[in-house]
Amino acid sequence: MKTFILFLAFIAPTVVFAASSSSIAWTPETLNFVKHGNAEKGKELAQTCAACHGEEGVSAMPETPSLAGQLATYTYKELRDYASDQRSHPVMTSIAKGLSDQDAADLAVWFASLKPAVGEAGKQLAKAEKMVEEGDGKRILPPCFVCHGANGQGEKLDIPALSGQRADYLAKTLLEYKTGQRHNDIYSRMRLIAQQLSETEIKDLAQYYQQSK
Ligand code: HEC
Ligand code: HEC
């Protein structure tokens, strides 16, 4: 909540998109529902995800995200957003439409229980690191860490973990926020940021987070 208030201060002069962007509203009922997802049931259902997202939820395919260790609330939200066409992708839309609310909660809790992918140190990415830690006051860009956490581990509710995530996926989805093709971020939080990032910055930030632990 604190980070959200902080962010509202950042975007106060801009207009917040009026149309609802997600099928999910974070009511106590929704939170309670996701929290009580059945991991055993989720594990069974997850067999149909393994070919793409990996046996243990760690993806080996560049543009397919890992799901292991992701916040259950975030995974649940994304599955419901694909199902309601608030987020779209040729493969995931039809898969998510075949899942019930309960299936989505069960899967989300199962994937959250798995060990996250671990990043490996690689390139020095000083500019990306600066953006993550300090943002850019000139462009009213808040540092990524205020929302995504000091180690990219994600924060409450719908702010996903990014560390160890596949760089090609991160870059692709950031570009989609930038163009508005992906628009299921509540309050336009990621679109407002991605719009201001250059394609080079996006590539470097994606690589930075893949490498981060
Ligand atoms: C045929 C390959 C394939 C299968 C099978 C598949 N997925 Fe996906 N999944 C993808 C791809 C590719 C993406 C990236 C889509 C995008 O860019 O929007 C994705 C994205 C996702 C996301 C969004 C993650 C994020 O970080 O935003 C979730 C959640 C997800 N899949 C869950 C599942 C679940 C649960 C199953 C099984 C019931 C499943 N997927 C089966 C390929 C697949
Ligand atoms: C004000 C809080 C906030 C800040 C600051 C922020 N993010 Fe986000 N980010 C979010 C939220 C919320 C989502 C999930 C939106 C959704 O539901 O689609 C998200 C999603 C993402 C995703 C999609 C992950 C996935 O698995 O699909 C990426 C990549 C990302 N952010 C990168 C960044 C980077 C890089 C920065 C810094 C330049 C940044 N974010 C700064 C709140 C923030």
The CATH number for 197's domain is 1.10.760.10
Question: Roughly how many angstroms between the first and final C-alpha of the chain, as a whole number?
Answer: 24
Q: Is residue 164 part of a domain?
A: yes
Choosing from 91, 99, 182 the residue with most ligand 1 atoms within 8 A of its CB, the one to mutate for a pocket test is 91
Query: 208, 174 in Cβ contact below 8 A?
Result: no
Query: Are 107 and 57 in the same domain?
Result: yes
Domain termination site, one of 112, 141, 156: 112
Domain termination site, one of 78, 112, 146: 112
Q: Is residue 162 part of a domain?
A: yes
Pocket flag, ligand 2, residue 184 (CB < 6 Å) = yes
Query: Are 127 and 200 in the same domain?
Result: yes
Q: Is residue 22 part of a domain?
A: no
Summarize pLDDT for 162-210 with one digit per residue, the tens: 999 999 999 999 999 999 999 999 999 999 999 999 999 999 999 999 9
Q: Is residue 21 part of a domain?
A: no
Output the CA torsion sign for 159, 184, 44, 55: negative
Domain termination site, one of 84, 112, 140: 112
Query: Are 55 and 69 in the same domain?
Result: yes
Query: Are 149 and 178 in the same domain?
Result: yes
Q: Is residue 107 part of a domain?
A: yes
Supply the pLDDT for residue 139.
93
Q: How far is the CA of 25 from the centre of ligand 2 (A)?
A: 18
Q: Which residues have CB under 8 Å from 207's CB, separation 6+?
A: 122, 123, 125, 128, 167
Give the tokens for residue 88: 């779209």
Supply the pLDDT for residue 162.
97
Query: Are 70 and 125 in the same domain?
Result: no
Query: Are 76 and 11 in the same domain?
Result: no
Query: Are 97 and 128 in the same domain?
Result: no
For the chain, what is the domain count? 2
Choosing from 5, 75, 147, 197 the residue with most ligand 2 atoms within 8 A of its CB, the one to mutate for a pocket test is 147
State how far the Cα of 29 lies from the Cα of 87, in Å rounded to an integer: 23
For 13-38, give one letter per residue: b (16+ CB within 10 A) or e. Answer: eeeeeeeebbbbeeeeebeeebeebb
Q: What dihedral angle (degrees, nearest 10) is formed by the CA atoms of 119, 179, 195, 154?
A: -30
Q: How far is the CA of 50 from the centre of ligand 1 (A)?
A: 10
Query: Are 93 and 135 in the same domain?
Result: no
Residue with token string 């996006």: 202
Query: 133, 149 in Cβ contact below 8 A?
Result: no
Q: Which residues have CB under 8 Å from 165's CB, separation 6+?
A: 65, 66, 117, 209, 210
Q: Which ligand is nearest to the CA of 82?
A: 1
Q: How far is the CA of 15 from the centre of ligand 2 (A)?
A: 19
Query: Are 204 and 139 in the same domain?
Result: yes
Query: Are 103 and 128 in the same domain?
Result: no
Nearest CA to ligand 1 atom 36: 49
The DSSP result for 89-134, as a single string, is: -HHHHHHHHTS-HHHHHHHHHHHHTSPPP-----S--HHHHHHHHH
Summarize pLDDT for 45-88 with one digit per residue, the tens: 999 999 999 999 999 999 999 999 999 999 999 999 999 999 99
Query: Are 104 and 166 in the same domain?
Result: no
Summarize pLDDT for 14-45 with one digit per residue, the tens: 444 445 789 899 999 999 999 999 999 999 99
Domain enclosing residue 122, as ranges: 2-16+118-211
Pocket flag, ligand 2, residue 158 (CB < 6 Å) = yes
